[in-house]
Structure 1
Amino acid sequence: MKKTDTIAALLAACFCTGAFAQSSATLFGTVDLGMTRLSNAGGSTTGMSHSNANISRFGFRGVEDLGGGLAAAFWLEAGYAPDTGTGANGAAAMSFNRRATVALQGSFGELRLGRDDSATFLNTLVFDPFLTNGVGGTNAFLMNGAPIQISNAISYLTPGGLGGFYAQLQHARDEDASRAGRYTGARLGWRQGPVHVSAAIGDLRGTTEALDVRIRNAAVSYDFDVAQPMLLWASEKRGGVEIRALQLGVKVPVGAGEIRAQVSRYDNSAGNADWRKFAVGYGYNLSRRTQLYTTYARISNKDNSLRSVTAQGLTPPTNTLGSSANGVEIGMRHFF
């Protein structure tokens, strides 16, 4: 990611009313593309996928110094599919679906308004060696209806300098007569030296009370320099069905690259619908901005489960109950 003077000037003119010398704006993004093969009992498919190592996205962010220790900030971020050039999830038009926020920052912390990542999603992201992406990414954030991003959010984030402790409170109003979309969540963590511990809770309203989703997760990691193991527990309960995940992951630096691996189990209260996942991958950094990567993953399903290994931009064949699934990818990611 780099600062682009021309775009910064244009953005400052559009978004800032104060002196340009006190403002800054940045264009940033990621392009990630690869070839992937997905297979299960229903057959196999091979094609181009995207966002396997990092989500493909572009955005604008900026900050204005208001004086007296206060600053105003904005962040606009759009996901897209570089294999087709379209917006996220195959949409014809691009939108700032990933984040669209304005914030006031100061010694009190940050007050943020707008569409943003949910507090409960962040643990599944940070404590997954694959950052929830590609064939190797965790299933712990898409088990039973929990949200990734939420709209109409009001968020409060604590300032730095609290001895490693941090917290986030978040609330989003439902603005629909169906009652769906109201979300309340919180995240509390401590990160000091090699240790990182965090937990989050959240509740999302559905169209009826029976479709409300309760989300709970907790995670811990320790960086030994030669390896960074991480443990994640997550639970999503929707109606009378609860799915729990337990994932052990690790990142191991090797020269200019990194080995990533995870083993996980997913227990479904619906009965004999559990599944297990294993993934291992390697990323080689050609530079600080460019990486080549490859990953292999396998899912083992119980009799009433038909989970498949997935990748963005490529649809897997329809699996059959109790059958295993595999995925392998190779690709390139570039930051700008």
Structure 2
Amino acid sequence: MRHTTTIAAASLLAACLGQAAFAQSSVTIFGTVDLGMTHLRNAGGSVTGLTHSNANISRFGFRGTEDLGGGLAASFWLEAGYSPDTGAGPGPSGTNGLSFNRRATVALSGRLGELRLGRDDSATFLNTLIFDPFLTNGVGGTNAFVMNGAPIQISNAISYLTPAGLGGFYAQLQHARDEELNSRVGRYSGARLGWRQGAVHVSAAIGDLQGATTAQDVRIRNAAASYDFGVAQPMLLWASEKRGGVELRALQLGVKVPVGVGEVRAQFSRYDTSGSDADWRKFAVGYGHNLSKRTQLYATYARLWNSDGSQRAIAPQGLTAPTNTLGGNATGYELGIRHFF
């Protein structure tokens, strides 16, 4: 009887230890599939077709963490973008191989913060993403991150992120080397500082991307703020990208309004080019209806007005917009479904 009890106790202890060890390490497979039917029209013509990543970027990835003890943890994140309308990966035309183009990082984190290595979102991109009601996606997404050559993701990055528990304050420092002999092309330095407490969120970022010459360097600056009233969350973004002697500036006012199980999204933005009439304005409104925590139906309408020196078009992913003419306006609308897994 004692022997049986000992075996049972040992089995129970082994099971508990096994569960504890398993709890110390985890790996998650995650992703998004987002597809919609989109119609685009401008002075160059019109086109209708299937687009992707209209509400959220279509992606596939793996992430994991390991508890190293003493408050220290190791983690990794591998994330690939893809085009579900064709099934192709993000590689160049003719290859289309799956690559972890969106993120490929390994990190150590603890009481002093996180040290992260690898390809990651640039520090200066994040404000244009977070403070856009459309998350930069689809016909309604902002143009504030693609104005004048600023990077979205950056390779060979070394990033430091402050720990949680600083009274709502957070910061990120990021640097990426070019890794080419006698070259400066692609070298990037950026920083982001913010405060998020309760309904308030404010953030600012600054960065520089080096080109082949100083005249091709890109200087990036942006600042944003939002306040969640519960019935509505307005957000304001200012962004600037200067390359050589040309500076493009964006000013964007957006809002998110919860409606039952869904959300209304709207935004108006203006984009000004220094020293020329290559300016444009954009308005977008949309609605996302959540069928569950993972699945959403959405619809968005957008209109863009070009000044005489601008020929911008509305161009979601997966569908080539007709080439616009100088001063020509553009419209677009989309209906689609997004599913997380």
Superposition pairs of residues 3-22 of structure 1, within 5 angstroms = 20-22=22-24
CA separation in 1, counterparts of 2:275 and 2:338?
39
- Tell me which residue corresponds to 1:196: 201
CA separation in 2, counterparts of 1:215 and 1:205?
11
- 1:129 aligned to 107, 130, 133, which one? 133
- Tell me which residue corresponds to 2:67: 65
Q: State whether structure 2 residue 116 is matched by structure 1 residue 116.
A: no
Where has structure 1 moved over 4 Å in runs of 4 or more?
Answer: none
- Tell me which residue corresponds to 1:27: 29
CA separation in 2, counterparts of 1:134 and 1:284?
16
CA separation in 2, counterparts of 1:88 and 1:280?
29
Choose 131-140 or 176-185, whichever is displaced more. 176-185
Q: Closer, same or farther in 2 for the Cα pair 1:24/1:47, shift >3 Å? A: same
CA separation in 2, counterparts of 1:229 and 1:68?
41
CA separation in 2, counterparts of 1:21 and 1:250?
40
- 1:51 aligned to 50, 53, 57, which one? 53
Which SS does the other structure have where 1:123 is aligned?
helix
CA separation in 2, counterparts of 1:70 and 1:114?
19
Which SS does the other structure have where 2:339 is aligned?
strand
- Tell me which residue corresponds to 2:248: 243
* One-letter code aligned to 1:46: T
CA separation in 1, counterparts of 2:101 and 2:213?
25
* One-letter code aligned to 1:70: L
- 1:330 aligned to 320, 323, 335, which one? 335
CA separation in 1, counterparts of 2:165 and 2:119?
27
Quote the offset at 1:207 in angstroms: 1.8
- Tell me which residue corresponds to 1:300: 305
* One-letter code aligned to 2:161: L
Which SS does the other structure have where 1:129 is aligned?
coil
TM-score by length of 2: 0.92
TM-score by length of 1: 0.93
CA separation in 2, counterparts of 1:149 and 1:240?
24
CA separation in 1, counterparts of 2:233 and 2:208?
31
Which SS does the other structure have where 1:307 is aligned?
coil
* One-letter code aligned to 2:167: G
- Tell me which residue corresponds to 2:8: none
- Tell me which residue corresponds to 1:13: none
- Tell me which residue corresponds to 2:191: 186
Give CA deviations for 1:291-312 in whole Å, capped at 9, x if unaligned. 0001011110000100001110
Q: State whether structure 2 residue 176 is matched by structure 1 residue 172.
A: yes
Q: CA RMSD in A?
A: 1.0
CA separation in 2, counterparts of 1:111 and 1:92?
32
Quote the offset at 1:332 in angstroms: 0.3
Q: How many residues align?
A: 318
Q: Which runs of 5+ in 2 are unaligned?
A: 1-20
- Tell me which residue corresponds to 2:165: 161
- Tell me which residue corresponds to 2:145: 141
- Tell me which residue corresponds to 2:103: 99
- Tell me which residue corresponds to 2:267: 262
Q: Which structure has the greater CA radius of gyration?
A: 2
- Tell me which residue corresponds to 1:16: none
Which SS does the other structure have where 1:322 is aligned?
coil
- Tell me which residue corresponds to 1:319: 324
- Tell me which residue corresponds to 2:235: 230
Give CA deviations for 1:246-303 in whole Å, capped at 9, x if unaligned. 0000000001100000000000014111100000000000000000001011110000
* One-letter code aligned to 1:159: P
Q: Which runs of 5+ in 1 are unaligned?
A: 1-18
Quote the offset at 1:176 in angstroms: 2.5
- Tell me which residue corresponds to 1:78: 80
Which SS does the other structure have where 1:235 is aligned?
strand
